[in-house]
Amino acid sequence: MISSKARITALGTYVPEKRLTNADLEQLVDTSDEWIVQRTGMRERRVAAPDQFSSSLGIEAVQHMLSHHPVSIDDVELIIVATTTADYVFPSVAAQIQAHFGIAKAGVFDLNATCAGFVYALHMANSLVTSGMHRKILVIASETMTKTLDYTDRSTCILFGDGAGAALVEYDADQPSFIDVIMDSDGNGGQHVYRSNLSAQINGTPMEGNGNIYQNGREVYKWAVRTVPQGLRQLLERNQLITAQVDWFVPHSANLKMIDSICEKSGIPFTRTLTSAEWFGNTSSASIPLALQQGVEDGKVKAGNTLLLYGFGAGLTQMGMLLHWNPKTNGS
């Protein structure tokens, strides 16, 4: 990887106020708190209000970022939004956020890499800044997954929640954040988790869900616990690191049982893993920034830490990223 010249200078997140607990779900479908916790580790998830959409959540995450870091977005040159639940097919969520903040002369686009979206967007931002094409990029991951659920299908409606995260990536050749990435995909597994749109079939298989999320959880689980540990090992070996040198592992919070299996196979202690699924559910591309922000607020993640982010999900797609954590603070 070309030596980075980009730094993550700020982070912010947002979740809607409404909570959907396991007890609430017991009233909707044939399930129980014990069943959900045992299989997923989830206890609550947040639900966007009827008038809240991915643009709304993303705006709130940016506001949170600005209130906690000494940074400005007035001179942002590009806005990248990772989302699978855009307000509209077009215009983009990124364009709506640009309009809200009145950022002049900023390019905008949405990126769909599903649950790996935040890591993909950071990789894109790092590449563009390091290349010299841009000096400041706003990265946002925002999802309203609950608007895509069938609440009679207990295999999916218990899993997902809504939330957003925002990060600022700026040119800094002296204190870069980005170390290395690894990515992989298997489009042959696309039929295991999807949300239909114009086509009625995928890989020759008729689609289900009527526009809502469909997931073959067993197949996705098998793929993730097999391939993610392999990617983790490759990324660490390529950078001559061992798991003990990673301060915090921050995987996509799909399911805590799945994360526990990945940790066991990778040799990374679960105690050094940051997740967001227990109280926010699976928020797709927003799950990694939500977990990272919680780690910061809890005093776990500190300046100078080495982080290993790992997104994985529909596509099937995955990306791992090694980072130095060195955001701007009021004291720096």
Catalytically active residues are 115, 252, 282
| The two structure tokens encoding residue 23 | 């007890």
Q: In the beta sheet, which residues pair with residue 206?
A: 201
Angle CA(283)–CA(284)–CA(285) in degrees, nearest 5? 110
**H helices of the chain, where?**
22-26, 33-40, 54-68, 93-101, 117-130, 154-157, 217-238, 256-266, 277-280, 287-297
**C-alpha torsion 168→172→174→178, nearest 10:** 50
Q: Token pair of 38, please?
A: 């045992």
Q: How many CA atoms lie within 13 A of 41 on its CB side?
A: 15
Burial 77-108 (b: 16+ CB within 10 A, else e): bbbbbbbbbbbeeeebbbbbbbeebebeebeb
